[in-house]
């Protein structure tokens, strides 16, 4: 039973290939001899198919690496300035840096070090340390919003072309 199914699938592929070859023969005038230049219909059809495949590959590649967004937050009251307006500007700056850190984590990854101490099957100490290192260029600020009365949110975006350049430079 397995062989008969396999035979049927192989037969379908062979028939489909033969049909494709025969349909290509309809476009070529065999009496004219070999195809020369790009004026022959078969060559134009082949070029059209190749262009369509290249366009499809470009769309798939464009979708494979989407743009990424990073979000950062900072509180106004935690800033060390004496003036309220300075505190707001500092909070926006800190939120922007936090958004850049978020983008860096997404592009370059994060190093994670943990230490856990267990004595007599009882957790004594659990420490986690993370490090992020990398270069981010070309990030665009999408929005800066106050969230509540004491917090700012900054959203930044890095498009796929810039991600590809950063990754190429990092290698």
123-144 pLDDT, tens digit per residue, is 999 999 999 998 888 999 999 9
Q: Residue 133 in contact with residue 105, Cβ under 8 Å? A: no
The mean per-residue pLDDT over the stretch 19-44 comes to 50
- Find, among 169, 162, 150, 165, the residue nearest to 70 by Cα: 162
Q: What is the predicted pLDDT for the residue at 15?
A: 42
Q: What is the predicted pLDDT for the residue at 37?
A: 53
Ranking 16-25, 43-52, 55-64, 126-135 by mean pLDDT, the lowest is 16-25
Q: What is the predicted pLDDT for the residue at 90?
A: 97
Q: Which residues of 18-37 are buried (b: 16+ CB within 10 A; e: fewer)?
A: eeeeeeeeeeeeeeeeeeee
83-98 pLDDT, tens digit per residue, is 999 999 999 999 999 9
Percentage of the chain surpassing pLDDT 70? 67
Does residue 170 register a pLDDT over 60?
A: yes
Compute the Cα dihedral for 55, 56, 58, 63 and give only its sign: positive
Ranking 4-8, 62-66, 105-109, 143-147 by mean pLDDT, the lowest is 4-8
Q: What is the predicted pLDDT for the residue at 9?
A: 44
Say how many C-beta atoms besides its own lie within 10 A of residue 85's C-beta.
8
Q: What is the predicted pLDDT for the residue at 74?
A: 97
32-47 pLDDT, tens digit per residue, is 444 455 556 666 767 7
């Amino acid at each position: 039973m397995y062989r008969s199914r396999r035979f049927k699938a192989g037969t379908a592929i062979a028939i489909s290939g033969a049909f494709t070859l025969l349909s290509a023969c309809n476009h070529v005038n065999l009496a004219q001899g070999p195809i020369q230049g790009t004026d022959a219909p078969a060559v134009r059809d082949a070029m059209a198919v190749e262009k369509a495949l290249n366009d499809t590959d470009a769309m798939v590649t464009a979708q494979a690496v989407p743009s990424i967004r990073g979000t950062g937050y900072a509180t106004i009251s935690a800033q060390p300035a004496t003036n309220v307006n300075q505190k707001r500007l500092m909070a926006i700056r800190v939120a922007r840096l936090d958004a850049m850190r978020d983008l860096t984590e997404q592009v370059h990854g994060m190093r994670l070090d943990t230490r856990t101490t267990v004595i007599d099957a009882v957790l004594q100490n659990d420490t986690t340390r993370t490090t992020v290192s990398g270069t981010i260029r070309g990030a665009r600020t999408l929005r800066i919003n106050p969230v509540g009365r004491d917090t700012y949110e900054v959203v930044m975006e890095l498009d796929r072309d810039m991600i590809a350049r950063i990754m190429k430079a990092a290698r």
